[in-house]
Amino acid sequence: MRHEAGTFAGLNGVEIFTQRWLPDEGAPRAVVIIAHGYAEHSGRYAHVAAYLVERGYAVYALDHRGHGRSGGARVQVRDFAEFVADLRTCFEHVRTRHPDLPIFLYGHSMGSLIALLFALRWQDELTGLITTGTALRLGGVRAWMVPAARLLSQWRPNWALIPPLDAAGISRDLTVVEQYVHDPLVYRGPMRLGMAIALLRASRTCAERLGELRLPYLALHGGADPLTLPEGAALIRARSGSADTTVHIFEGLYHEVHNEPEREQVLARVVQWLDAHVELLQREPSARPQPLASG
């Protein structure tokens, strides 16, 4: 497996760190672009990338602005459109490098919202969408809190009021939790109100627009996820407009299903779905997405 890293200029010139994992020999079957979750970084998906590369896929990932090795105010945006714009630039680089390959988008947690927002705008240019721990229903958030937080954010958007994510909820594998807590690239500070409102707004938008989806969609969720609740997966099942929507809840698993003791089972499910859709394209080339003008 070959690993390469680099940077590109994101929205408003913010430097965005990116990396890719490629097969040592032969052309990849397709490309998977990974959008990581809140407070973390793309390096935490190296084992996911290795699993996919071993099975013939090229994998690209970026550190979202304000995360990991990318520039920008730490874990802070005014609107998720900033994340989506950077992902679009990454996507364009991938498509230039692999013009003839199918491209799948894989988003986890906060990254699931970024991926959904991207797909809702450019789904005709993607072969498929995968989300895990989809952040449509957030643990600990009550309806009455939202208008109060919105009002406070107008007054003090940088107010670091919300505690860091509870690391114990990411995985039942204590080694994963320990590595997360001590990872210098993982943000362990409190969430700012402005960021919280941007997250809630993106979550609401995605939930309301699920019916617009038409592309193949795989949604995976841990049945015991305390951070993004499994009710979000049920919402996808009920509202997705794509006839090719698969929702699977892994009973007993926590938030990062790809980092649970059952990770092999989870990743095998991802590859099974990817393989099926790549093989469908090989049998029916007319189903391949056609590049469209940006807009």
Looking at the annotation, which residues are catalytic?
109, 225, 255
Cα–Cα distance between 42 and 19 in angstroms, integer? 8
List phi, psi (to 5°) of 182: -100, 10
For residue 148, give every residue at least 6 positions away whose Cβ sits within 8 Å of its Cβ, in sequence order, or none.
none
Q: Which of 155, 141, 241 is nearest to 199 (CA)?
A: 141
Cα–Cα distance between 58 and 67 in angstroms, integer? 23
CA dihedral defined by 167, 171, 175, 180, rounded to 10 degrees?
-40
